[in-house]
A and B are shown apart, each in its own frame.
Chain A
Amino acid sequence: MNKSLQQKNTRYLLVWLPWVLLAGTFIFYILMNEHAHHMQEQQLKLKQENVWNAFLLNPEVRAFHIRGEYELEKGVPLPKELMNKRRDTAVYYPGEKEWVRFGILTKPYSYKGEPFQLTTYISSKEITHLIIKVLFAEAFIFILLLIAIVIINRKSSRVLWQPFYDTLKKIKEYDIIKNKAIQWTGTTGIEEFDQLNQVTETLIRNVNQAYSNQKQFVENASHELQTPLAIIRSKVELMIDNPALTEDTARLLTDITDANERLSQMNKNLLLLAKIDNNQFSERSSIHLSDITEKLLSYYEEYYDGDSPVIRKKIKPGIFVPANASLIEILINNLIRNSVVHNLPGGWVDIQLNDHELVIENTGYPIPGDTEQLFERFKKGREESKTTGLGLSLVKQICDLYRYTLHYHHTEGLHRIRVIFGNGGLQNSSQIDP
């Protein structure tokens, strides 16, 4: 499962740091104990010195002892290897009815040729208590430390990785069509991130360059195609005017003409697409949408003169959009044309325009397969030779440019295209209804 950098970092810290701190606590305990024993030994030795000196001042007292303090015995009963070493023992106090732990040290002495052994006692209870208290304090400090490390780490990594997140945000905002400039603000102060920015910048510059070359290529290619197309057209025109024209030749010429016309139309549309891509329709004015729609519809009615499907319209007057006049005309013309050309004999077209959308509904042949592809270049709903396959992709391109949402819906023999103006989908401005 993917986690953010910070989460990952915190997780590592939380998994490993407690073990380190635990090990630290253990070592600390051992060291403390060691030191405590050492200290006790020193104290025992000092006490021994004092007690022996006191004994020398008053040597008549041959043997004496005080419980929990010292014990002087004649003779040396203790094995030699235990001499001068701190040992642990416990002494029973009947008054309190408890065993108390002591650290003891036994040392051999001789007085006037007689051997003695002196054992001194120091209670271990206090030092043990102290060690426990210190350990608790240490554990508390360690927990504080753990929390502090995690918090500081989170904060510092947030600061440290900030340039990375900035870069990420900029790359996310990058769009080859709408937002192609990426501007880095100075250096980040971190070598790796500066490198990342540089590499990204180069990459994006190359991508933009390739894209712009590509667009330029399409535009140039379409331009260059115009002349040969004009030549073919002119030659065919001269041929059809030839008095020796036979019906067979005429039939061939009809096909050539049709193909050539389609080619020029396609080329025109390609050029138009390239120009939209190249942002050559950037100037906008307030376009009277109702007016243009009415006008285009009247042309269709006029030119088709009864051959066209029945056109029903409900157009709200006085609707304006900020756009380029030619593009809006192409948009609406292509939509109307589409609904008329792909209609059935005796079919109808229903057009509605209101403040926020244009809806064109028409009868037509059912479209097999994926309708989403209809808006891609050179995708046709049906194999028909009279269309260019670019009409709807122009529609999509223009909708994308103005951020209109495009909906296409199709049920058996009924097609509906909706163009929603205004604050349509900013990111993905074309959606197809399921």
Chain B
Amino acid sequence: MKLLVIEDERSLLESIIQYFKQEKFVCESAGTYAEGIRKIEDFQYDCIILDINLPGGSGLQLLKYLRQDKKTDGVIIISARDSLDDKITGLDLGADDYLTKPFHLSELNARVKALIRRKYSEGKSILELGNLKIDLLARAVLAEDQPIGLSKIEYDLLLFLATNKNRVVSRQSIAEHIYNGPSEQVPSYEFVYSHIKNLKRKLKEKGCNTILQTVYGLGYKLLS
């Protein structure tokens, strides 16, 4: 999978690149508007991670240019602007997703994976992890072909961990990911713990060999 990150903040850019390299992505980067334009003209990417405020121009302009060029690269905007209007503008211009800064890399990863799944693997909607199968369309989980009854929150939690498999995912990023209440403000991170506990219990009951690890007090890791 080929990924282009257009972000002027060098440090953040490096983090993103490092993270996605570990995910076995082929990563390229651009730090300015002009560099971004050059790269999208020359190559085709599966996903472009695009910042809005760039030296030399706006990420939105770049997006417009890309779509006028009839290119279908997936685009995820990352921006410090968090108003609904900004999001709508971005999505109207043809972005596939919009993430506000500061974001979690695991969240960005989940969004990129979801985008790629949507775009390139229409038929394949089963995620496999050892003897665990997640049916993305039916939102069902099977262990050894036996269905596990998970609540909506537990399902979201498992899918998020599966998307970030073999990595430590922080409590905070889990909380922010699975909390899709009407308010952006996550009530507290404490609730993650009890849902993890339930999920662990249910996986164990079904003899699932996929191991859900707690990494010190920091977060959780799903091993395949």
Contacts and interface: CB of A to CB of B under 8 A. Distances in A.
Interface of A: 223-224, 226-227, 229-238, 240-241, 245, 247, 250-251, 253-254, 257, 261, 264-265, 268, 271, 275, 280, 292, 295-296, 299-300, 302-307, 326, 329-330, 333-334, 337, 340-341, 386
Given A237-B170, A304-B194, 14 more contacts: A227-B12, A227-B80, A232-B102, A238-B19, A240-B168, A245-B215, A250-B216, A303-B187, A304-B187, A304-B191, A329-B182, A333-B183, A333-B185, A334-B185
Interface stretch (B42-50, B60-68, B103-111, B114-122): B103-111
What interface size band does chain B fall in? 35 or more
The residue in A302, A303, A329 that gathers the most chain B C-beta atoms within 10 A of its C-beta is A303
Nearest to B53: A227
B50 to A, nearest CB: 14
Contact of B217 (A224, A232, A254, A326): A254
Nearest to A299: B181
Contacts of A271: 82
Contacts of A296: 181-183
A208 B182 CA distance: 35
A330 B185 contact: yes
A250 B217 contact: yes
B146 interface: no
Contact of B83 (A231, A280, A292): A280
A227 B219 contact: no
Interface of B: 9, 11-12, 15-16, 18-19, 22, 80-84, 100-106, 153, 167-168, 170, 172-173, 179, 181-185, 187-191, 194-195, 198, 215-219
B191 A305 contact: yes
B9 A227 contact: yes
Contacts of B153: 302-303
Given A305-B194, A337-B187, A238 B105 contact: yes
A340 B186 CA distance: 13
Contact of B106 (A230, A237, A305, A386): A237
A307 B183 contact: no
B190 A254 contact: no
A241 B168 contact: yes
